[in-house]
Structure 1
Amino acid sequence: MNEMERSGAPLLNHRALFVDESKSTMYAFAGEKSWEDMRPGIPQPPTPWKFVADGQGGGTWMKMDGRESNYDATGIIQPASGSSTYGNGVGYYLGGHLNGHTWPSLQSGVWRSVSGLITFNMTTGVWSNTSAQGYGTDQIAHFGFAQFVPSFGSKGLVVFMGGQDQSERVSAAADLPRQFGRVTFLDVSSGNWYHQKVGGWIPSWRNRACAVGAQGDNNTYEIFVYAGCKTALYGGPSPTEEQKQDNNDSDEIFVLSLPSFQWFKADYVAKASRQGHTCHIIGNRQLLTIGGIDPALQEGIATSDQQGKDPWPFGLGIFDMTDMRWKSQYDANASSYKSPQVVRDYYDNNSRYPTQWSSPELAVMFGQTSKPPSQTSSLGPDQTKNPVPEGPKSNTDKKNVPLIAGIATTGAIVLILVAFVVRWVYTRRPKEAEMEPVDDMVKLSELDCIAEYAELPEAPRLELPCTQRLPVITISAATPRTRARSL
């Protein structure tokens, strides 16, 4: 373990980390100040930082400046708790929120959802903000996760799952769970959004899970999802015994295999779950989970009491993705990843593709050359087209990630090098605040796991670039989402 100087890099929760393997560089974007940190103010203005590894177990943190990116000219704001990933030289960040701990101009207790898809081209230094209407009508990603899939589509796909759907127009009391029975993804080449039903052992809903992806040996791609939290975030009353057990039971690993769109579950007994942790692939086939806190405890206790200590030494857990089992130590000589046996058995005895596609384009995108089964009608926003900035094609397998990062509960950032693997120690979490009810709450409806809001008068959105940052926040007609913190 190697602890390095932060060189002024801010201590923030819920950060997004984009890795440029060709430059041994990691970019830190977004995040909010810990609610346990009572010192006034946050770094002003919030700005991206980068960590450059030196190849000898160390490296340097530095603030990005206008000479290497267009960030200052875009008016892009830095939210927290959006869904993020990276691939082919581009970082992706969807949704999130703003409050007094993320942006200097917002008053304490004011909470705003942030729509739009932010991208960062790590080769050119160009930041962009495009519409994410195709993700869902008035649905903004919050506490979910994303995974870049290079295997399908001419330039890859970005898959979004889990968490909650916020609204720009109504109170946070209307946030809806985004269930795992349908997967949402963006085709990078066309800018089209799609929603596809999935089958198999579908995970129960959860927040703050983590995910990694691996290329299978039969032209498949597997996404591994670990743990998460099923109760309210940001504190509040301590979980009931039933809620504690439910959260402990979220100590699960699920695997989504593409192109079958089938879920599989690892067979082991739940012992101790995590939320707010990070996951990374190291040593060919090993999933490394770092940090996080115990979702069975109220967050104030989980971050300050011995009850909330990590279940593994140094907060590092190792899972063999091929054998689908936890391991007691890292194997430096592990063989290459192969799809788990349960996944291989499925493809040996079933079709490679879903019985129904949500649109004909998906069958082509995922390589089904024979005539696909009868199609279901595609959802309205499925093919909303918004060009997405692309990065250069990369031949580097994402499994060999040189830099990984996690955030731990002590408030200090610890970087761990496992062949350029870097971890961040997870800083303390905010406490949940109760939402003030909104009298004119719009009526919600459900459509096959994707919730839609009733139509309301159009309101300015926070997703488009602006030459001035503060007007993006202050003049928006979006309803402020007031959160009164519990003491």
Structure 2
Amino acid sequence: MNNYLLTIPLDFTWNWKNNIIINAEPKNETSPTTGANTPSLMRGTMYHGPANSSEVYIYGGTTFMANQSFQTYTTPTASTYALWSYNYNTTDYPWRQFDVSQPWMPNHGASAEAVDQGIAFYLNGQIDWGTSTSTLNVLSDEETYMPVSGMVVLDLYSHTSRNISTASIRGNAPRVGGKMEYIAPVGSKGVLVALGGQISNSSTVWANVSQGNLLDFSSVDVFDVGSLVHDTSGDGKWFLQNTTGEIPPPRIDFCTVSISAPDNSSHHIYMYGGQDPTHGDPDHANRKNMAYDDVHVLSLPAFEWTIVYGNAESPRYGHNCHVAGGRQMITVGGNISNSGVCDWELKGVAVLDMSNMTWGSVFTANASGYEVPPELFNATGGTAKGAATIKEPVLGWTNEGLKTVFNTVRDELNPALTNPTPKKKNHVGAIAGGVVGGVVGLALIGLALFFLHRRHRSSKTLVLAELADDELHDRRAELADEKMKGQLQSYNENNPAELADPGPFELNAPRTFVEADGTTVIQAAELSGMTVVKGASPGVPFIRTPGDDLPTSPFATPLSTPPISDTSTLPGSPHSPVSPFWEKKLG
């Protein structure tokens, strides 16, 4: 177990061979309000949080159970507080915990985040013997788990959540060990691309990590975020899209990052490493899983795979990747084998320049921006600066609805929605690291290295489609100066104020208010169907999620679980007979 929170500064150039600085902060603290210990978990995720916040967020995870005699081992607690935050800009107690009204705290799912909208996503995942006090005495080995369905949508402004159905995704079953990326420039509110994962082939509620079916990469699932933002009563829209090119072998526990051409004419998902837990490696008698040391890139909208780095000598899985310094992919942690071999990367960190496709030990803080590498030109056409000529998949769209999404202009750039000519976005900010999976010292949320040490004090790191604070104020000024159509603030938290007639009406004079930082802002009223919640700001879309204060029943769907049809088939002691806990929760 590792009981430290680690940070890596990104405001200067370093070489992990000689001058990398890793700051270790003990987190042996307890909540002053509840007495709960700060989390030390694995296989959860860490979110960047809203762009104007100094908090990062930890969601999900499970207690490492393989070494319960270790001195820092703590027994799993209840799943009530699945969401935690850490404020890196306070001298007081920096941790907060939140009950987001979900029945489980999942782990080993796929996560993504729309930083520009304050929304986080967690797709499927599992519960296991380290999930909570309820599962501790029911499951008794580290390879048995129960998949959970649905995608949890977290509003990181209000700290609320809902669970939407994922019944229409590929395989029609919950998956574990996959990844998901948010592509901000595509569609009215961006899209999510879900890749890979493992689904259970068991007829019972239980699954085993060494069994089941791996989803190959011949197709991916794409979620239109706008379909959820614009219709909060539904579950959003998923699309299946077939891929072509040099399709990677199926795997789980790989890492991904996404980055776009300078002109957003193409978008690229870099995938590194991973493992196949269903097949052993015949060349390594001591390694029970087939692991990979390769880099593949999925280019959109061609949906074509390109291998840019072959299978080398240092397989890695359970790690995380982050975009930093404009064009570099930093990998953190993970497992390299089951044979006890030490990591050749001294600090568990490596750097890939995604433009010239070279691995190295140096992070360059002032590197130039990303350019499309020549290796990807066959999938994009155009040049290093963009100007992609391939505008659709080689074999056509698997679903014509996805073509419509790709041809939709982002809301804030749509002249039909905004009168002024939009300014070019300066996508600066920082990146939040996820939970580092793998060996004991690297598998904990406490060890989840995140690149946020100076997130809003420096513009040395990159986040796609993040609205900078200065642009937010410029945007408000434009709204006031141009007297454009704006948002009509709701007079009641539960009931949006609407005009009776569908035609446009001009409202009263703009109102003046003072921000928390003392800035005086003149805000015009705006009519919009996308922002109806208390505290909304012009040009900053919110997703409305239900709360207990709504007058009608929330539309959130609880995490669902398959029914137990035959309790006598549950594998292993003490699974049979089923305890009263499972009869209550799953029966």
TM bin (shorter chain): 0.7 to 0.9
1:341-390 deviations in Å (ceiling 9; x for gaps) = 22235433863311321122222222399xxxxxxxxxxxxxxxxxxxxx
Q: Does 1:477 align with 2:564?
A: yes
Query: Which residue identity is paired with 1:264?
Result: T
Q: Given the alignment of the two structures, is residue 207 of structure 1 paired with residue 207 of structure 2, yes or no?
A: no
Q: Distance in 2 between matches of 1:150 and 1:482?
A: 43
Partner-residue secondary structure (3-state), 2:375: helix
CA contact (8 A) 1:168 1:478 kept: no
Q: 1:232 to 1:346 in 2, by over 3 A?
A: closer
Q: In the alignment, does 2:322 pair up with 1:285?
A: no
Q: Which position in structure 2 is the counterpart of 1:272?
A: 314
| Counterpart position of 1:10 | 39
Q: Does 2:160 align with 1:120?
A: no
Residue in 1 that maps onto 2:358:
325
Assess, with a 3 A threshold, how the Cα gap between structure 1 residues 221 and 465 changes in structure 2: closer, same or farther.
same
- 193-202 vs 46-55, which moves further: 46-55
Q: Is the CA contact 1:85–1:147 (under 8 Å) kept in the aligned structure 2?
A: yes
Give per-residue Cα distances to partners, 1:398-430, cap 9 Å, x unaligned. x742432442634473465755389xxxxxxxx
- Contact 1:25 1:51 (C-alpha < 8 Å) held by counterparts: yes
After the TM superposition, which residues 70-85 of structure 1 pair with which residues of structure 2 at under 5 Å, given as runs? 71=100, 74-85=101-112
CA separation of 1:108 and 1:347: change in aligned 2, threshold 3 A: closer
The change in CA–CA distance for 1:105 and 1:255 in structure 2 (over 3 A counts) is same
Q: Aligned equivalents of 2:432 and 2:408: distance in 1? A: 35
Q: Is the 8 A contact 1:249 1:270 kept in 2?
A: no
2:408 pairs with 1:363: no
Offset from partner CA, 1:43-100 (integer Å, 9 cap, x none) = 2344121111229xx99641324xxxx61xx243111111111113111111111122
Give the letter for the 1:50 counterpart: S
Decide which of 267, 282, 296 is 1:221's aligned counterpart: 267
* Alpha-carbon distance in 1 for matches of 2:425, 2:103: 30
Between structure 1 and structure 2, the one with the greater Rg is: 2
Paired AA for residue 31 in structure 1: G
1:118-267 map, 5 Å: 118-136=152-170, 138-166=172-200, 169-170=203-204, 172=207, 175-190=212-227, 191-218=236-263, 219-232=265-278, 240-241=282-283, 250-267=292-309
Work out the CA distance in 1 between the residues paired with 2:92 and 2:181.
26
Amino acid at match of 1:254: H
Local SS of the residue matching 1:84: strand
Give the superposition deviation at 1:244. Answer: 7.5
Q: 1:105 to 1:360 in 2, by over 3 A?
A: same
Distance 1:86 1:418, change over 3 A: closer
Sequence identity (%): 22
| AA in 1 matched with 2:60 | A
Name the structure 1 match of 2:118.
89
State the TM-score, normalized to the length of structure 2: 0.61
Give the alignment partner of residue 36 of structure 1, picking from 55, 66, 78. Answer: 66
Alignment of 1:51-70 (within 5 A): 51-54=86-89, 61-65=94-98
Secondary structure at 2:362 match in 1: coil
> Could you tell me which of 392, 400, 413 is aligned with 1:353?
392
Q: Match of 2:513?
A: none
1: CA distance, partners of 2:454 / 2:330: 10
**1:290 shift after superposition:** 0.3
Shift of residue 19, structure 1, vs aligned partner? 1.3
Aligned partners of 2:275 and 2:291 also within 8 Å: no
Q: TM-score, normalised by structure 1?
A: 0.72
Shift of 1:395: 5.9
Q: Is the partner of 1:338 in helix, strand or coil?
A: coil
Indicate how the Cα distance of structure 1 residues 172 and 269 shifts in structure 2: closer, same or farther if over 3 A, else same: closer
Q: Distance in 2 between matches of 1:286 and 1:30?
A: 28
Partner of 1:440: none
Distance 2:226 2:55 in 1: 25
**Per-residue deviation, residues 422-463 of structure 1 (Å, max 9, x unmatched):** 9xxxxxxxxxxxxxxxxxxxxxxxxxxxxxxxxxxxxxxxx9
Distance 1:94 1:479 in 2: 27
Counterpart AA for 1:329:
V
For structure 1, the residue ranges without an aligned partner over 5 or more in a row are: 370-393, 423-462
1:23 aligns with 2:53: yes
- Please list every run of 5 or more consecutive structure 2 residues that lacks an aligned counterpart in the other structure: 1-21, 30-36, 228-235, 383-388, 410-423, 456-554, 575-587
* Secondary structure of the corresponding residue to residue 270 of structure 2: strand
